[in-house]
Structure 1
């Protein structure tokens, strides 16, 4: 009887167990894409820090990701240096995302809502992402769009024409 009572007390704790896992830095990345009337370009960061929290069933409950603005590489050192000026990277060195809610829409898709913190502005965003499991590794792959003006970033110009306001973001987070 005594062991039955102990089991009843422990079961709820085990049933609601959560696992926090650091992301796989060598496999995770975030890429932004921007456009100008003269050309389009992308910049990628593979230097992410982050934690994913899953429940006992392996469902994703929370995500927190951080990247240094200076870690994005567009394959043009001049463009990257100018981007660091435009986004005031000395004052705002990081871009981060923290989820508020993650809803599994099916076994391979999640709807994510959370706060994107960039250039000193916190803005709620939402997006859908694909979940892929291979052995013990899980990947979340998706994309979202934000506007420079939403983060109080003045659009840079080239040849008297400003870049598009829209920034497209692709990501793959692996753990």
Structure 2
């Protein structure tokens, strides 16, 4: 009885040893209004269900954000952004990491799927994954088109928001 209890506790401890929780960081999106200005909203909060053993190539799981936490420097623009993204119907977005491919040094390709606006599409991020002192830092970039996820780029009179959105991730996860 004691041996099976000890075995169960050790197994449970080894399964949770690789769990990573969001500690800090930002996920930035960049697009532009043609003929006007840049739009750079960001998330400063996220929820992670990620795990990683000793090597970054073992990183797997999901990082999720609430669309209502997506903010820029302009509240009126944010309201338009929430409307375009139909945040009342699709309040969350997530990226599931399914495979991590080493590219040399701390450089990796994070392959996975983006779930945004009710659409799930394959997507990759390229960047670095580094661990130091029980914390894992991911700095990665990717690009997407809003229209690929069923989001109509907003228009305001003669101004049109660029369809492409450049994504920059810089997050710190703790074990």
- What TM-score do you get using the length of structure 2 for normalisation? 0.83
Larger radius of gyration: 1
User: Who is 1:160 aligned against?
Assistant: 158
Cα root mean square deviation, aligned? 1.9
Deviation, 1:56, is 4.1
Gaps of 5+ in 1: 1-12
For this pair of structures, how many residues does the alignment match? 159
- Change over 3 Å in CA distance of 1:166–1:68 after alignment to 2: same
Higher relative contact order by CA 8 Å / sep ≥ 6: 1 or 2? 2
8 Å CA contact retained: 2:57, 2:101? no
Q: Secondary structure at the match of 1:55?
A: coil
Deviation, 1:63, is 3.2
The Cα offsets for residues 32-81 of structure 1, whole Å up to 9 and x where unpaired, read as: 11101211120111110003211244644203100000101101110001
8 Å CA contact retained: 2:57, 2:100? no
Q: Which of these residues, 84, 98, 101, is aligned with residue 100 of structure 1?
A: 98
8 Å CA contact retained: 1:115, 1:125? yes
Q: Which of these residues, 111, 129, 133, is aligned with residue 135 of structure 1?
A: 133
Deviation, 1:112, is 1.0
User: Who is 2:22 aligned against?
Assistant: 23
User: Who is 2:169 aligned against?
Assistant: 171
The answer to whether residue 86 in structure 2 is matched with residue 122 in structure 1 is: no
- Change over 3 Å in CA distance of 1:130–1:82 after alignment to 2: same
The answer to whether residue 29 in structure 2 is matched with residue 32 in structure 1 is: yes
- How many angstroms apart in 1 are the aligned matches of 2:106 and 2:62? 20
